[in-house]
Amino acid sequence: MKKPQVPYNHLSIESKWQKVWEDTSAYKALDNSDKPKFYSLIEFPFPSGSGLHTGHIRSNVAMDIISRKRRSEGYNVLFPIGWDAFGLPTENYAIKTGIHPIEATKQNTDTFRRQLKTLGFSFDWSREVNTSDPEYYKWTQWIFLQMYKKGLAYKHKMAINWCPKDKIGLANEEVIDGKCERCGTQVEKREKEQWMLAITKYADRLDKDLDTVDYLERIKIQQRNWIGKSEGSEIEFKVSVGEKNINVFTTRADTLFGVTYVVLSPEHSLVSEWKEKITNKKEIEDYIASVKSRTEIDRTSEGKEKTGVELKGIHAFHPITNEEIPIWIADYVLASYGTGAVMAVPAHDERDNEFAQKFNLRIKEVIEPLLIGERGADAVKEDQPFIERQVAAVVVKHWEKEEYLVIKWTKSDWVGFVTGGIDKNEDVATAALREVEEETGYTDLEVANIADRKVHAKFYQLLKKENRFAHYQPVLIHLKSGARKEVDSGELAIHTTEWISKDKIEAILAGNSMRHILWSLIQPEKPLTDDGLLKNSDVFSGMSSDEARKAITEAAGGKMVTTFKLRDWIFSRQRYWGEPIPMIHCKKCGWIPVPEKDLPVTLPLVAKYQPTDSGESPLAAISEWVNVKCPTCDSDAKRETDTMPNWAGSSWYFLRYTDPHNKNAFAGVDKLNHWTPVDWYNGGMEHTTLHLLYSRFWHKFLFDIGLVPTAEPYKKRTSHGLILAEGGVKMSKSIGNVINPDEIVENMGADTLRLYEMFMGPFDQPIPWSTDNIVGSRRFIERVWNTHYKVSNEAQVGSKVESMLHKTIMKVGEDIESMSFNTAVSSLMILLNTLEKEEAVSKEVFETFLKLLAPFIPHVTEEIWSELGNKESIHSQRWPQYDKLKTIDSVITIAVQINGKTRTTVEIEPGNTEEIVTKKALEIPEISKWMEGKNVRRIVFVKDKIINIIVDLKTE
């Protein structure tokens, strides 16, 4: 008897299975399982007062899909959750609403917990952690004390960024265009003692060890850019006064002969030492005062106009030529980077060039471009010698339009300008005119400019079959008219010509020597910042940059060194809502750690938690908490009243998940050995610099003292794109465009929301929300629901369905691993389309389809699975396997092209050779028609994709 069809009711289905999963602890990770472990991690949420929004859900759904797949593959999965609960947003929310941060945090975490549970995430809720819980932050404080004992935590007086509205010290990264990132208030500078963590001692390892982990390349780039490792030279410039000289750090010692001035940071100690020798002392003092109020990021941000003043009455000497060089102070040089001094080479550095142009300083070019073919048809053949050639490289300008002539070669992917060797009896102008006429036919020519700068290139010359070391002399020729003679057929056979605008030329030629030829003629003032061949550099002229860096450093009496842009981490915050820093100050003993037996140092429960105008933490006013006895000498002492930044608790939370209830250690050795490192960590790109860097630093420190088993915390790190509001703008509570998931779950279902967030677009890209499009995900689920009523044990499985099923198994599995969730969903939709056309659907086929779909929409698949008579959860079933032979099409369709244009298609068995496909293509009537009276020049064949028949242009 056929089962009566019941409408899909998401509310009853989702609440039913969420209760079952919770009651049975379905997703609890086992510490003593024989299965291989898989640790899946999301960035734990900051529970704000506004609750969860759809942007938070994207990462959670993705890692839930991966976690569910791993369980089906036989892994013991740890997929934990917790709360990053300390920090400024909660405190600001508390100040605004009058709700104490403790109560606000409880309300917010309760809301987030409820929302996450309604979405069916397979978190192990038994491991929930909260960074503001004393049982948690006891161990944050304990780790800080271990750092203090090892000399990594220290106190230092420094100028900090101060937000007068939020009344808090800000790290450089929290200041945007001189304003507080959170409230937009203009930032001030204040001198203050701060606790620091010496992350710089780990800079080299933080950089090098990125080679050992599976992170997205853009994440590694962000990490390395922030660390800022530079291999370079330290070179000394003697000065006309005093005994101290100027030490500069440079990565470009090869440009030393191009130095035309030296720049010091306004804060450089030598400036104050020389003040009595400086003849424009008042001008210098006024300038230094004007720079003091500006942040480092503001001073060095791209596009900011650079300012500076020359130190008159003092000059430096070039370390090799002994030439006198002016000394300037300028805002674009920072005391905190390198030595606080820069040797300025305006011909080869964009900042120096901009400064030199503004102040009319000398610009001396000492590098010419050198390009080396490394891939494609032009790649240098390592086993062959180089043939050197002096070459005219000609940029031809149109007689009326702002367009230039390019040459496109037919036997390679090379695009460039007219080029040709300069014969013994020719000058460059004569050679240029001859080559243009021979290659293009244009005859009404005028030499407009011959560049001072040569461009050098090493490449493989495909026609001559030899390595070339070409020295291009750029020449600009203006056509006076379009007068043109017939071009030799031999020239036509090897290249074509095309007129292109300057902007398009730059895009086409990006990265090859032709780009430099264009710039040399059209934008000669643009600095050449790449490596190249030296000129105007005495005995070093003709050397490559790589060769010259060390040789020039030695000649200048310098040394090769490694520096880092990374600075020590400012760890103090003058706020209430954070972990108290467990230190006590005694007038006799100095700074003394709180005894470990007295941890945690808990936050006092106070009514007044607003920040102070003085810049002190609100804790400073609580005398009964502040005043204590020194643990060493028992004298009167005071607690540290600064608290830790919100980065502190998030720097090690992934370790606490392994053993969240341990009262004797931050985690037990056996649990850490079993679960760490994290196998796959996903989070936002906005956290792939600082959070990732800080947590890697803490983990490496714990590894060094023998408390964790690996040097890196995460094997793999990926990131997702933001979900934008409708219209493509960022979601913001202040403008009312945040999408509340509660309404969607209520009206359309958690499964619909999960599916839509995975289907809406590529996971790694920002995607705008669309209320209209989410309806499509709901309809798909309803179709899945309705199709299950067609399932039959007796239904036959046709070859088409079987092939598509195995292709879908392969596609979905691969797409989940590459986080291509949108295409995985698309392939499941295609399979459903096929199943819907069947009169009856095989139970085995449909159950396999459900297993593939289950990680995406866990509630409805669990319900259908149960209705099909299965007793055990679908989420405990083995992941489907595919038969590779059944994924291969018996017939494929390939495009048949004539000169790159598709004229028809042909169906053929996969894997056929070029000869067979060509024969079949030429037999097609449509192709026969196109081939009449034409000669086949060559065939371009891409196996199982296309066949392109290139015919003689002259006879087409």
- 311-344 confidence digits (pLDDT tens): 999 999 999 999 999 999 999 998 877 789 999 9
Of the candidates 529, 416, 398, the one whose C-alpha atom is nearest the C-alpha of residue 474 is: 416
Contact 366, 348 (CB under 8 A): yes
DSSP assignment of 364-406, as one string?
A: ---EEEEEE--SGGG---TTSPEEEEEEEEEEEE-SSSSEEEE
Contact 564, 200 (CB under 8 A): yes
Helix/strand/coil for 686: helix
867 burial (CB, 10 Å; 0-12 / 13-18 / 19+) is: middle
pLDDT given at position 608:
77
pLDDT given at position 173:
61
Contact 475, 392 (CB under 8 A): yes
Instruction: Please write the tens of the pLDDT for every residue from 151-160.
Output: 999 999 887 7
pLDDT given at position 609:
78
Task: Kindly list the distances between the CA atom of residue 406 and the CA atoms of 395, 431, 474, 517, in Å, as whole numbers in the listed order.
Answer: 8, 18, 14, 12
Task: Kindly list the distances between the CA atom of residue 712 and the CA atoms of 42, 692, 698, in Å, as whole numbers in the listed order.
Answer: 17, 11, 10
Q: Specify whether the backbone of 800 is left (phi greater than 0), alpha (psi in -120 to 50) or beta.
A: alpha
Take residue 443 and report the two structure tokens written for it: 């005859």
Take residue 433 and report the two structure tokens written for it: 């005119």
Measure the CA–CA gap between 501 and 499, rounded to whole angstroms: 7
Measure the CA–CA gap between 863 and 867, rounded to whole angstroms: 6
Q: What is the amino acid identity at position 784?
A: V
Measure the CA–CA gap between 469 and 459, rounded to whole angstroms: 7
Please measure the distance between the N-terminal and C-terminal CA atoms of the chain and give it in whole angstroms. 70
pLDDT given at position 295:
66
Contact 81, 123 (CB under 8 A): yes
Spans of the chain, pLDDT less than 70: 1-3, 171-173, 293, 295, 297-298, 301-303, 411-413, 509-516, 518-520, 522-524, 732-736, 890, 953-956
Contact 338, 248 (CB under 8 A): yes
Instruction: Please write the tens of the pLDDT for every residue from 85-101.
Output: 998 788 878 888 888 99
β-pairing verdict for 153-163 and 188-197: antiparallel
Measure the CA–CA gap between 870 and 865, rounded to whole angstroms: 6
Task: Kindly list the distances between the CA atom of residue 266 and the CA atoms of 47, 279, 445, 523, in Å, as whole numbers in the listed order.
Answer: 43, 16, 54, 33
Helix (H) or strand (E) holding 489: helix 489-494
Contact 545, 531 (CB under 8 A): yes
Helix/strand/coil for 323: coil
- Count Cα neighbours of 575 within 13 Å in the Cβ-side half-sphere: 27
pLDDT given at position 835:
96
pLDDT given at position 919:
85
Contact 834, 804 (CB under 8 A): yes
